[in-house]
Chains A and B, each alone.
Chain A
Amino acid sequence: MGTDKKQEVHTHKIGIYLWIWGLLFVFSFFSYMVDYLDFQGLLRWTLIVFFMLAKAGFIMAIFMHLYWERWAIVNVLLWPMTLIGVFIAIMVAESYYTFFTRLFYFVAGG
Chain B
Amino acid sequence: MGQFDISKLPQGAKGFTHDLGSDQRVFKGVPWGKSMMWIFLLSDTFIFSCFLISLMTARASTVVPWPPTSQVFGLTVFGTSVPLLLIAIMTFVLITSSGTMALAVKYGYEKNRKLCGWFLVATALGGLTFVGMQAFEWSKLIFHDGVRPWSNPFGAEQFGSFFFMITGFHGTHVSIGVIFLFIFARKTFRGDFDTGRKGFFTSMKSDYEAIEILGLYWHFVDLVWVFIFAFFYLW
Contacts and interface: CB of A to CB of B under 8 A. Distances in A.
A84 B49 contact: yes
Contacts, number: 160
A75 B234 contact: no
Contacts of A21: 95, 98-99, 102
A95 B38 contact: no
A91 B70 contact: no
Nearest to A33: B88
Interface residues of A, number: 60
Main secondary structure of the interface of B (DSSP, over half): helix
Nearest to A36: B83
A81 B102 contact: no
Contacts of B103: 14, 17
Nearest to B58: A95
Given A84-B46, A92-B56, A70 B16 contact: yes
Given A11-B109, A14-B103, A35 B219 contact: no
B131 interface: no
In the A-B complex, the 3 residue pairs with the smallest Cβ-Cβ separation, listed nearest first, are A71-B16, A98-B61, A95-B60
Interface of A: 3-6, 9-12, 14, 17-18, 20-21, 24-25, 28, 31-32, 34-36, 38, 44-45, 48-49, 51-52, 55-56, 59-60, 62-65, 69-73, 75-77, 80-81, 84, 87-88, 91-92, 94-96, 98-99, 102-103, 106-107
Interface of B: 1, 6-7, 9, 11-13, 15-16, 19-20, 26-30, 35, 38, 42, 45-46, 49, 53-54, 56-58, 60-63, 70, 82-84, 88, 91-92, 95, 98-99, 101-103, 106, 109-110, 212, 215-216, 219-220, 222-223, 226-227, 229-230, 233-235
